[in-house]
Amino acid sequence: QVQLKESGPGLVQPSQTLSLTCTVSGFSLMDYSVHWVRQPPGKGLEWMGRMKYDGDTYYNSALKSRLSISRDTSKSQVFLKMNSLQTEDTAIYYCTVLYYFDYWGQGVMVTVSS
């Protein structure tokens, strides 16, 4: 069955770089796009960007200068890197397939704090 699982550090220092990995199973990264969505505590959802099935990437314009999404199809992994983190980047980070059906990872809570 389709599964997505995020992994990465729970705590990042301000101004540092966040690196997250989304490991998928049950489908090929060359068949479906994988998106990153985040949610600050008590707030709404923010679409961050996506790795398209053909390898193309697209980013939220507000995050584009700090964000990079890449993949390793042989390992079924999608990577998120975001630099210059600030406290307002504290959030649950999800990787997800958003199509006419959806699959979501459990999410990983990332806290930006010194």
Partner 1 sequence: DTVLTQSPALAVSPGERVTISCRASESVSTLMHWYQQKPGQQPKLLIYKASNLASGVPARFSGSGSGTDFTFTIDPVEADDIATYYCHQSWNSRTFGGGTKLELK
Nearest by Cα to 90 from 17, 19, 36, 12? 12
CA distance 102 to 5: 14
Query: CA Rg, the chain, in Å?
Result: 13
Contact in structure between 43 and 99 (CB atoms under 8 Å): no
Cα separation values, 59 from 29, 48, 63, 69, Å: 18, 6, 7, 9
Q: Which position among 24, 32, 34, 35 is part of the footprint of partner 1 (CB under 8 A)?
A: 35
**Could you tell me which stretch among 8-16, 21-29, 57-65, 75-83 binds partner 1 (CB under 8 A)?**
57-65
CA distance 104 to 13: 27
How many residues bind partner 1 (CB under 8 A)? The answer is 21
Based on the shown chain and the rule CB under 8 A, indicate whether residue 101 belongs to the binding site for partner 1: yes
Based on the shown chain and the rule CB under 8 A, indicate whether residue 62 belongs to the binding site for partner 1: yes
Nearer to partner 1, 72 or 102 (CB): 102
**Could you tell me which stretch among 7-15, 41-49, 65-73, 81-89 binds partner 1 (CB under 8 A)?**
41-49
Based on the shown chain and the rule CB under 8 A, indicate whether residue 105 belongs to the binding site for partner 1: yes
Based on the shown chain and the rule CB under 8 A, indicate whether residue 51 belongs to the binding site for partner 1: no
Binding site for partner 1 (CB under 8 A): 35, 37, 44-47, 50, 58, 60-62, 94, 96, 98, 100-102, 104-107
